[in-house]
Amino acid sequence: MQCQLSDITRTEIRSTVLSAFLRAFPFGRILVLVLSFALFAWGGKVSAQEQDSQKKDGAISGTVYLPGDNQPASQVAVNLKSHDAGIFRSVLTDYDGHFDVPGLPAGTYEISIEEQEGYEPHRSTAEFDGTALKLALRLTPSGGPPVPPNAYTISVRELKIPWQAQDEYHKGLERLAKKDQNGSLNHLMKAVQLFPGYFEALYHLGIVHTNLGHLEKAMQAFQKAIVASGGRYARAVFGIGYVHYLQGNAAEAETAVRRGLAIDPNAADGYVILGMTLLRLNRPDEAEKSAHEALVRDPHMADAYLVLADSCARREDYRDQIQELDNYLRLDPNGGATKRVHEVREVAQRILDRMQPRD
């Protein structure tokens, strides 16, 4: 006979994984993976052990240039795809037109830049040996009449950001990486005061306020970032969705996250947040599908396995839950939620053992 589980035990095992996820999750990690200038990860600064584990794979980096005078092209989405390695990554270039994608295995990669206003789409192929590859990508003007220089609103905007504001912004990121929330808050607020349209700084202000539990202030910061970016900054939209999630407004969270994915359909972190939200809406099958969408775009997205583990727990499929927890621990053995995940795994294993038929 199979052992019958009490309602309390079932409830405990269903809720433990995402509770661990939320206790250890300072919001920043999921929402900044596509920003090449982000300096922090889940739990703050990446540990030395995590850095060592990432050295197994190399990095593809480079710079995107505008034609003519080699001016860097900032805030341009660069896509990397390898069919043989099952990899798809998308990153935005920073102020200097630079991008950096770490943690990539060897293989043949397709590099693409979708059509930008006034420029043709870029397509190229590169062989990557798994160590380091640096690229120089140049945009080509599209056919038709030349586009006047003042039409490139993003690059013009970047040039208008005072260096003092940029300095405060990067100091804010550095303090955030060291888990100094208040120090980060002060620098980011100065950056916004110096340049009110600095939507990256506004976005990170939202992250800090979220970490501090100031959810209303976080919501305001994310909203301002969306307005300042003209609605193009998916990270801030995900931030709105995550705050709704924390406030228990799952329906509003789903709407916001899906809106963010419409802006950036390749954001693996967005699919993880959507999966969390769908679990709260008691739609585990859809949550599982969303987690798989995240892993298609980033096979190293460990957080997606927590969503999968919770989906298995909802079905009382503890064997698969343990497997998904093991997948998470394999990818993020020293993360902020590791201790709690080990505890959850032990509970799931005990329940599974009790369910085994007895002679």
Q: What is the pLDDT of residues 96-150, one digit of tens each?
A: 788 899 888 888 888 988 766 677 888 888 888 888 888 888 888 775 444 444 3
Q: Which helix (H) or strand (E) holds 24?
A: helix 7-24
pLDDT per residue as tens digits for the range 256-292: 999 999 999 888 899 999 999 999 999 999 999 999 9
pLDDT value of residue 223 = 96
Ranges under pLDDT 50 in the chain: 1-56, 144-155
Residue-level pLDDT at 10: 37
For the entire predicted model, the pTM comes to 0.60
Q: Round to whole Å and give the CA distance between 245 and 240.
A: 9
Residue with tokens 């307005």: 227
Structure tokens at 56: 């197994």
- Architecture in CATH for domain 59-157: Sandwich (2.60)
Is residue 260 within 8 A of residue 284, CB to CB? The reply is: no
Is residue 334 classed as helix, strand or coil in its secondary structure? Answer: coil
pLDDT for position 57: 66
Where are the chain's structural domains?
59-157
Cβ(221)–Cβ(205) below 8 Å: yes
Q: How far apart are CA 191 and CA 184, in angstroms?
A: 11
Specify the pLDDT at position 342. 93
